[in-house]
Amino acid sequence: MAEKITPRAENFSEWYQDVVLQAKLADYSPVKGCMVIRPNGYALWENIQKELDQRIKKTGAKNAYFPLLIPESFLKKEAQHVEGFAPQCAVVTYAGGKELEEKYVVRPTSETIINSMFAKWIQSYRDLPLLINQWCNVMRWEMKTKLFLRTTEFLWQEGHTCHTSLEEAENKTRQMLEVYKNFAEEILAMPVWMGLKSESEKFAGALRTYSIESMMQDKKALQAGTSHNLASNFAKAFDTMFLDQDGKQKHVYQTSWGVSTRLIGGLIMTHSDDKGFVAPPRLAETHIVIVPILAQAQMKDKILEKATELSKTILERNEIKSLPYNIKINIDADETKQPGWKFHEYELLGVPIRLELGPKDLEKNQVVLARRDLDKKEFISLDILPQTIANHLVSMQKDLFEKAKKFRDQNTFQTYSYTEFKQTIETKGGFCLTAWCKDPVCENKIKEETKATIRVLPLDSIFQEIPEKEKCIVCQTKKPAIRVLVARSY
């Protein structure tokens, strides 16, 4: 028997855990803070990798692989970097039966080890830009962990690029942010805000950090990807230099950018419901499940035969073939389980489309079709089934995005007074679009008094003056203010 899923309205955090565990997306491991990504969850990661890897390669980056271990001394070469990451590092002190002379940290991120190689590989401006990406595991020793969202070890991609000018590095930083935005919206159906992080929230060692921020169904924000302009901070620490066209040796300008298995957590908290996981069709491992109704013994063979034929016909049709991903169909002919049990099971697993096929349907040349995100069943004539399925897959992807976007927009508020702002955060939750004077004192006050943080300075308003009458939400003085998006977050 399936276990009960805690409804979202009752306890969102327990609902999340129930979905992850019962849909077998991930599990707790015996290693503190580390998760096991089970096949159902890993299939999502494989699809994320496939889609995102293509997009990254289109920008000219190539994949490579750098060591897991980083000499402790490397981390210390960039002052801000070591301050930010050292407290979270796991350290190898002993190897091959001996105490090590130099300790190694398990990479929390790879700017330092990669720069040690870049310094060796780059000679002149002809070697630039150098665009590298790495898919790997990283480790950050977290105190409070949550499956997918914050784990001691996680999987990610980290891009690292070198350029001849700060401007080119800035352009690359923004380009990759756009890649993440498009990927999140098109493939994960997860609408995001793009923006700049405040100084206090930027990556340890960066000049500037940009991020994409998404709203979960509990109205909290999730930072879903980051892109950093590193200027020459790491290049100076590692002497990563190039001979410029003017004959002078100069430090390269760099960027780094990454998204991780955290995206799977975001995906779940954006689309799933009280029945379980909901997979956007573009990420689903299995798109269609056919449940043959086998109660009548004399009809069994005929129904199974028809199910197989249907599956074949669907896959052969051009409407299906022309979708931008390969469709997988599962026929569940297990007779030890009842159809009702199966309906619940595939809802829990998030399969986008369920087809039921019984003796009556066979007679009427139809199937019963249920779409995971809609609360109804339709009878569909087999003549129009492939086209209907293709239409549903396309519109389900679109509808999930639209629904999430509408939810986000309905829960994004413009606030002008601190009282109104605090009240909004406390009672309504969601995102507040407001004004801030750039003073860390005001930023801290927000954090301490509301537990909300400045998520980003929205990209489209970074360089826009905001109306003069609108003052910093906290201090309300005449200091020029900028637009900020504030929310409680994961």
Q: Using CB under 8 A, which of 15, 16, 66, 210 touches its own copies?
A: 66
Shortest separation between residue 104's beta carbon and its own copies, angstroms: 7
Shortest separation between residue 70's beta carbon and its own copies, angstroms: 7
Shortest separation between residue 69's beta carbon and its own copies, angstroms: 5
Count of residues interacting with its own copies (CB under 8 A):
55
Contacts (Cβ under 8 Å, ≥6 apart) of 97: none
> Six-digit token pair at 188?
């994960």
Report CA torsion sign: 239, 243, 245, 246: positive
CB nearer to its own copies: pick between 62 and 377: 62
Shortest separation between residue 140's beta carbon and its own copies, angstroms: 9
CB nearer to its own copies: pick between 108 and 276: 108
CB nearer to its own copies: pick between 328 and 344: 328
CB nearer to its own copies: pick between 93 and 313: 93
Choose the stretch contacting its own copies; rule: CB under 8 A; options: 64-72, 276-284, 340-348, 356-364. Answer: 64-72
Reduce the DSSP state of residue 10 to 3 states and report it: coil
Residues β-bridged to residue 104:
71, 92
> Six-digit token pair at 272?
């799933």
Choose the stretch contacting its own copies; rule: CB under 8 A; options: 65-73, 171-179, 322-330, 400-408. Answer: 65-73
296 and 320 in contact (C-beta within 8 Å)? no
Is the preceding peptide bond at 467 cis, omega within 30 degrees of 0? Answer: no
Report CA torsion sign: 475, 479, 485, 490: negative
| x/- track of binding to its own copies for residues 155-194 (CB under 8 A) | x---------------------------------------
CB nearer to its own copies: pick between 63 and 414: 63
CB nearer to its own copies: pick between 68 and 394: 68
CA distance 249 to 119: 12
Shortest separation between residue 346's beta carbon and its own copies, angstroms: 17
Looking at residue 273, its amino acid is D
CA distance 412 to 210: 20
Reduce the DSSP state of residue 368 to 3 states and report it: strand
CB nearer to its own copies: pick between 153 and 347: 153
> Six-digit token pair at 435?
């004004």
Q: Using CB under 8 A, which of 69, 304, 462, 475 touches its own copies?
A: 69
| x/- track of binding to its own copies for residues 14-53 (CB under 8 A) | -------------x-xxx--xxxxxx--xx-xx-------
252 and 232 in contact (C-beta within 8 Å)? yes
Shortest separation between residue 238's beta carbon and its own copies, angstroms: 10
Q: Using CB under 8 A, which of 21, 22, 71, 490 touches its own copies?
A: 71
What is the DSSP annotation of 186-228?
A: HTS----EEEEPPGGGS-TT-SEEEEEEEE-TTS-EEEEEEEE
Q: Using CB under 8 A, which of 74, 85, 257, 277 touches its own copies?
A: 74
What is the DSSP annotation of 403-451?
A: HHHHHHHHTEEE--SHHHHHHIIIII-SEEEEEE-S-HHHHHHHHHHHS
Report CA torsion sign: 377, 3, 262, 8: positive
Q: In which region does residue 276 sit, left (phi positive, over 0), alpha (psi from -120 to 50) or beta (all else)? A: left
Shortest separation between residue 53's beta carbon and its own copies, angstroms: 9
Closest among 330, 314, 326 to 384, alpha carbons compared: 314
CA angle 294, 298, 300 (to 5 degrees): 35
Binding residues for its own copies restricted to 378-397, rule: CB under 8 A: none
Shortest separation between residue 62's beta carbon and its own copies, angstroms: 4
Shortest separation between residue 279's beta carbon and its own copies, angstroms: 16
CB nearer to its own copies: pick between 77 and 455: 77
| x/- track of binding to its own copies for residues 79-118 (CB under 8 A) | -------xxxxxxxxxxxx------x-x------x--xx-
Shortest separation between residue 64's beta carbon and its own copies, angstroms: 5
CB nearer to its own copies: pick between 28 and 416: 28
CB nearer to its own copies: pick between 42 and 343: 42
Binding residues for its own copies restricted to 323-362, rule: CB under 8 A: 336
164 and 244 in contact (C-beta within 8 Å)? yes
CA angle 91, 38, 257 (to 5 degrees): 55
CB nearer to its own copies: pick between 111 and 443: 111
265 and 253 in contact (C-beta within 8 Å)? no
Q: Using CB under 8 A, which of 11, 14, 83, 120 touches its own copies?
A: 120
Q: By CB neighbour count within 10 A (0-12 exposed, 13-18 middle, 19+ buried), where does 179 fall? A: buried
Shortest separation between residue 72's beta carbon and its own copies, angstroms: 10
Shortest separation between residue 304's beta carbon and its own copies, angstroms: 20
| Interface ranges with its own copies (CB under 8 A) | 27, 29-31, 34-39, 42-43, 45-46, 62-71, 74, 86-97, 104, 106, 113, 116-117, 120-121, 126, 132, 136-137, 139, 141-143, 153, 155, 336
